[in-house]
Amino acid sequence: MITAKQKRSRGKLLVTVIILGLVVGGASTLILLQETGVASVTPDFTMVLKTGNFNDAATWSNITTTHTILNETSGLDNSGVKIIIYISSQGTFDGFIRLNVSGLPPGISFSFRPLVLRTVAGGNAASALTLRAAANVTSQPAPYNVTVTATSSSPAITHAVSFPLRVRSTKLFWSPLVLSVTKGEKFTLSLQLSDVYNVTSFQFSGDFNSTLITAMTNGTIFNHDFSNYGFIVQQDPSATPPCLWVNNSTGTLGNCGMGASFLGQCASAPCITVNATQTFNLLNQTFVANTNYDGITPVTLRNDVIVEAMGEVIIPNDPHHTVGGLVTVAEIGHASPPVSQGESISSLYGPLGLFLLSPLIFRSLARRPRHRIS
């Protein structure tokens, strides 16, 4: 996004005047050279908005898409990314430029570092704009149009550039978050989603301590809205380790990625849309508490992906909060469990699970008719 006044430079005009005159004895040529102008560019400056690491210009890129700010976070897209205001002097501009921002959503604060820039003729300067979202900010259906303004007093010049900003407070979590069970007891955790707009699909994996609880291999039940379309991303069954949905030897769930997608791309109607006070149940996973030990085990979420649609535009990794569960297996008088067999799925497969599902989701969305979820 660039704004600038375009001024046409007046270059040097070299006029050659050829005068033919009559001189006694015959015709002669008289050549006069005249410089009639001097190069001049009106003092001005340009402003471009970028994103990236302020301390590493190689990471900067122009803002071309809609970015998101998540409640209780600083920076864009839940990754701390800042907005870079890049100023370039034109002509003989040499002065101070003060920055400001307007049009921010409620609950979003900002700071510039620095607030005032100084550029010299032919020079450049940059400032980092950091946005911060309060805890009580909630998801909004449409992006806000945020405007950054740069103003100099001498000469008096003002430039403004706008960019779209989405606001989200989406949360993916196990419910209940805290649960106490007795040895040998079966129990169910629900994977739920809150405060979202137009979610079309999801993916996740996770881990748990299999010395305390066992995930039942037939205990995964999808929400009825997409029960026929939930799937586990599989690979060659002969691979080591194999890609199983439940692997109690390592204490993992969905170690090759697991998820579901709705019908259609929600272009005319929302798929999953629930506000901050509502929840949407994605699936239920049944476990059984082991009989030998008591203790506490986290049930975490890993490689989680939420896919959202803005009209015909797909947002493949919508920023969100992820909250794992905590299960206590209790019975007084028994030994503490050995070292946890649970292993983070990221250490087994790295980022693989994050990307395996996306092509399948998009292919699924492209070939299925639209379906409205009530």
Q: Which helix (H) or strand (E) holds 362?
A: helix 352-367
How does pLDDT run along the chain (374 residues), one tens digit per residue? 544 444 444 444 333 333 334 344 444 433 333 444 445 679 999 999 999 999 999 999 999 999 999 999 999 999 989 999 999 999 999 999 999 999 999 999 999 999 999 999 999 999 999 999 999 999 999 999 999 999 998 899 999 999 999 999 999 999 999 999 999 999 999 999 999 998 888 888 889 999 999 999 888 888 877 645 565 555 556 666 666 778 888 898 876 666 776 654 565 555 889 999 999 999 899 999 999 889 999 999 988 999 888 877 888 889 999 999 999 998 754 445 554 343 332 222 233 333 333 443 444 434 333 333 33
Question: 159: closest CA among 227, 264, 87, 92?
Answer: 87
The single-letter code of the amino acid at 189 is L
Tell me, which fold does domain 44-166 have in CATH? Immunoglobulin-like (2.60.40)
On whether the CB atoms of residues 356 and 233 are closer than 8 A, the answer is: yes
Residue written as token pair 């380790």: 241
- The reply to whether 171-367 shares the fold of 44-166 is yes
Rg (CA), the chain: 31
Nearest CA to 133 out of 103, 168, 171, 99 is that of 168
With b for 16 or more beta-carbon neighbours within 10 A and e for fewer, the 290-323 pattern comes to beebbbebbbbbbbbbbbbbbeeebbebbbbbbe
Domain ranges of the chain: 44-166, 171-367
- CATH 2.60.120.10 given to domain 171-367: no
CB within 8 A of 93, min separation 6: which ones? 43, 44, 45, 119, 121, 152, 155
Phi, psi dihedral angles at 226 (to 5 degrees)? -140, 35
> What does the block give as tokens for 198?
């137009």
Residue with token string 């607030």: 115
The percentage of residues in the chain with a pLDDT greater than 90, rounded to a whole number, is 51
At 222, list the tokens.
């999808």
Q: Are 288 and 185 a contacting pair, CB within 8 Å? A: yes
Q: How far is CA 342 from the centre of its chain?
A: 29
Specify burial of residue 78 (Cβ count, 10 A radius: 0-12, 13-18, 19+). Answer: buried
Beta partners for residue 246, in sequence order: 253
DSSP designation for 336: P
Place of tokens 């970028």: 50
Asked if 37 contacts 14 with a C-beta cutoff of 8 angstroms, the reply is no
> And the tokens for 340?
């946890």
